[in-house]
Structure 1
Amino acid sequence: MKKLTYVSTKSVNELTWPTVVEGINIYSSALTVFTDFKTAGPRVIETNTRADVLVKLMKKEHVRMKIVVDEYNHFVGIISLEDLSEDALIKRVAEGYKRSELMVADLMRPKEELIALSYNSLKNSDIESLLLSQRENPLQHLLVIDEDSNTIRGLISSNDIVRQLRLDVDVAFSSFASTYRSAILGQKFQSKRLKAA
C-alpha cells in the first residue's frame, strides 16, 4: 500500500478554476468550442437501456445528447432529447411498440445516418467558418472524427457556442441554424445599423 499525504486546509483560500478563454468571438479558433474526448470523456449509453430511464438520466445529468455504444463500447449512434420527445415516443407506440418497452436502440440515430466533421479541418478553422458550414443544421450537436486514429474525437454543441459567444439564444431550443442566425446574421444586421446611424 502506498502512503498518502494529508495537508491542512487552514491556510488555503483559493479554488482552482478551469481556464476561461477571454475575448472569444466568431474569428476565434473553432477548437475553443470543441469538447475533446481526450480531456472530457464521452457521455455514453448502451443500446439496451430503456428510453424512459434514459430521459430521466439525461435530465438529471443536464445533457441533451449521448453517444450510443454496444456491449463492447463500440460506437453505434447517438441519441438526443429530441429523439426521446413525446412526439417521437407516440410515433413509435403508433407503430406497435409498447411505451414501457422502448429501448435506446429503437429511437437512436444510427451511425450510418450521421455525418461528422473532420478534426483536421476543425483545427484550421474559426467559429465563423464552422457556423457558416452548419447554417442549415437543425441539430444541437456535431460529432468530430479524428481521421488519423479513426475514432470519434469529440463533439461541438451549439449550446457551447452560444455560451462562449454570449449570444441571446435560448439554449433549451438552440441549434446550429439558430446560432448561425444570431452570431453571423445578427452581427451583420448590427454593423449595417451602425453604418446607417
Structure 2
Amino acid sequence: MKTLTYVTTSDINDLSWPVIEQNTGLYSPATSVFTDFKKTNPRVIEPNVRADVLATIMKKEHVRMKVVVDANNNFLGVVSLEDLSEEAFIKQAAAGYMRDELLAIDLMRAKEDLLAVSYKSLTNSDIESVIHSQKENTYQHLLVVDEENMSIRGLVSANDIVRQLKLSIDTATSTSFAKLHQVIEGDYANSKRLRVA
C-alpha cells in the first residue's frame, strides 16, 4: 500500500482549468470541438432502461445524449433529450403505449437511421465546414466514425461549438446544428471575431 501526502487547502485560491485554445474561430480545426472517445469515455446506456427514468437521469447528469449499447458494448444507436421529450411520450401514448412501459430502445434513433462524419475527413476540416455541412441537422450531436477500425470515435456537439466560439446563444437549452448555422449566417455573418485564421 502506498502512503498519500495530505496538505491543507487554507492557502489555496486557484482552480486548475483545462487548456482551451483562446483564438478558436470558424477556420479553426474541427478537431478543436471534437469529443474523442479515446480520451473521454462515451456516455452509454443499455436499451432496456425505462425511457422516463432515463430522461430524469440525463437531466440530473446534465447530459443531452447517450450512446445506446447492448450488454457487450455493441453500438445500437443514440438517445437524446429531444428523443425523450414530453411530446415523444405523448405520441407513444397516442399509439397505445403506457409511459412506464417505454424503454430507451423504443425512443432511440437506431444506428441504421444515423449518418455520421468520417474521422479522417473531420481531421482535415474546419469548424465552418462542419457547421455548413450540418445546416439541415435538427439535432445537437454529430457522430464521428473511425473508418479504419469501424468504430464510433466520438462526436461533435453544436453546444460545444457555441461555447468555443463564445456565441451569444443560450446553451442551457439544446442547440441544433441547423439553429447554429442560421445564427452564424445571420447574426455573425460578417464577424471578424469568428474568422480567426
**Unpaired segments of 5 or more residues in structure 2?**
193-197
CA distance in 2, matches of 1:168, 1:14: 27
For residues 17-166 of structure 1, the aligned pairs below 5 Å read 17-166=17-166
TM-aligned CA deviation for residue 13 of structure 1: 5.4
2-side partners of 1:184 and 1:34: how far apart? Answer: 22
Counterpart position of 2:183: 182
Distance of 1:185 and 1:86 partners within structure 2:
31
TM-score (norm 1): 0.90
Question: What is the match of residue 4 of structure 2?
Answer: 5
Q: Which moved more, 1:153-162 or 1:14-23?
A: 14-23
Q: Post-superposition, which runs of at least 4 consecutive aligned residues in structure 1 deviate over 3 A?
A: 9-15
- Partner SS, residue 189 of structure 2: helix
Q: Which has the higher contact order (CA 8 A, sep 6+)?
A: 2
Code of the residue aligned with 2:188 in structure 1: it is Q
Aligned residue in 2 for 1:195: none
C-alpha separation in 2, matches of 1:93 and 1:72: 31
The amino acid across from 1:175 in the alignment is S
Amino acid at match of 1:164: Q
Deviates more, 1:54-63 or 1:173-182: 173-182
Q: Indicate the RMSD between aligned Cα atoms, in angstroms.
A: 1.6
User: For the residues of structure 2 that align with 1:102 and 1:34, how far apart are their CA atoms?
Assistant: 32
Structure 1: stretches of 5+ with no match in the other structure: 192-197
Q: What percent identity do the matched residue pairs reach? A: 54
In 2, are the aligned partners of 1:168 and 1:182 still within 8 Å (CA)?
Answer: no
Q: By percentage of residues, which structure has more helix?
A: 1
**Distance (Å, rounded) in 1 between the aligned partners of 2:65 and 2:32:** 20
Contact kept? 2:159, 2:174, Cα under 8 Å: no
Matched-pair contact (CA < 8 Å) for 2:118–2:146: yes
Larger Rg: 1
Deviations 1:48-98 (A, max 9, x none): 000111011000010111100111111100001111111111111111211
In structure 2, what is the Cα distance between the partners aligned to 1:128 and 1:26? 5
